[in-house]
Each structure stands twice: as structure tokens, then as C-alpha cells.
Amino acid sequence: MLTLCASGRRVVLWIGLLATATAACAAPTANEILRRALDLSAEVNDYTAQVQVRGSFAGAPEEVPPFTVYFKRPDKVSIRSRSLVVVPRDALTFGNLARRIEEGAEIYLLGTKVVNGVTLYTLKLKPKAGGEERLLVTIDGRRWTVERMEIVQGERVRAVLNWQHVLIGGRYWMPSVITCQVPGVEGRPGGELTVSFSGYKVNTGLSDALFEATE
């Protein structure tokens, strides 16, 4: 079983932004940019995917056997696996974690740059409640997918996440690979986590009965 340190577990929670986030007009505001990214999942009513998790923490490579995830709005999740799998619910339920992040954060546009003809926007999200932690989020201004996220506390980068996406049915941008790097700190080794999604089926009309045994 893949066991994550406290920082690693928190990072997986942020991945929910990430299994949910990702979607221009002239000079959009920071809030408009983030809203377009979060709205990418609005038309995904249900999905099925094969998931593979690999990681290396404290120098020890580990791997979770592949498992199948079923999701149905608003927050139904079922995981089918040959072994025990512990996955934060928010990492799989589109919109829930993302909505809480948006509602609980002050959002700023730090800057833009053009790479291969595509405008990339970098946003800073700071908790309205205060504190040193903040998110630096890079969003693709062509398809509005989240491409990169840094979790920063004070002067220290706690984690860096990068996304790859796949277009399903010519309509839905879904995460295909999410990699997370956690730097070592105060003598403790860091690590890397990779979550891969494949075999997507979107909006197939999953039955509520599929989730009854796992709710």
C-alpha cells in the first residue's frame, strides 16, 4: 500500500482541483480565468476511469494496483479494486473541492506569457482566513485547463503539481496524468507521486444502484 506523509496526503487533496479543474475573451480577470477552469467539468455528469498510482517517498518506490473509479454527480463515488485503496473523496468528485477553494480564497492575476502561441495565465490564491499558504496556478488560456500548481508556505515550496490532459469525445478535457513532487525539508526526504487515468467513459448514464454498496 502506498503510504503518504502528511504533506503528501494534503497534496492529494489539492489534486481534487485537479481531477476537477480545467477551460477566453479579451483580458479576463483572475476570477473569470479561474471560473472558466472550474467550469470545464460542469457538463460531466458521470465518468468511469482506470486509475494507476505510483509513488516514491523516502527513497522507496511503491505502487498501488490499478483500480476503477465510478463517479456520478453530485458526489457519488465508487471504487472497485482487488486491494484496499484510500483516496480522498474530493479528489474524485468534480467541483466539490474546487468550489471550496474558490469560495475560500482571494484570487490575483500574477502575470501572463505566450508559449507556442498559447497564453498562459498564472494566478495566486490566498486563503481569506489568512495564513502563509498560497497556491500559484498556471492555466492554459486556449482550453482553460490547469497545467501547473505550486503549493507555497512562506518562502518554501511544499509541492509542485503538473497536469497532462486528454480530450474525450471531442468535448471533455479530462486529466490523464498528474505528477506531484514534494521537496525534502529539515532532513526529511521528499518524494514524487504520479496518478494516471485511462479508459475514460463520460456521461454514460451510470445507475444509482452502482453506488449503493459503497455509500
The answer to whether the beta carbons of residues 149 and 161 sit under 8 Å apart is yes
pLDDT of residue 208: 93
Domains of the chain: 6-202 (2.50.20.10)
Enter the pTM of the model. 0.77
Chain position carrying cell 496556478 = 137
Q: Collapsing DSSP states into helix, strand and coil, what is residue 53?
A: strand
Per-residue pLDDT of 62-72, as tens digits, reads: 888 899 999 99
Average pLDDT value for the chain: 81
What letter does residue 185 receive in the DSSP assignment? B
Amino acid in the structure at residue 24: A
In whole angstroms, give the CA distance from residue 160 to residue 192: 10
In whole angstroms, give the CA distance from residue 200 to residue 50: 7
Helices (H) and strands (E) in the chain, counts: 3, 10
Per-residue pLDDT of 152-163, as tens digits, reads: 988 888 889 999
Q: Which DSSP string do the residues of 172-205 spell out, in sequence order? A: EEEEEEEEEEE--BTTB--EEEEEEEEEEEES--
Give the confidence band of 24 by pLDDT, cuts at 50, 70, 90.
very low
pLDDT of residue 190: 82
pLDDT of residue 154: 85
> E strand or H helix at 35, and its extent?
helix 30-38
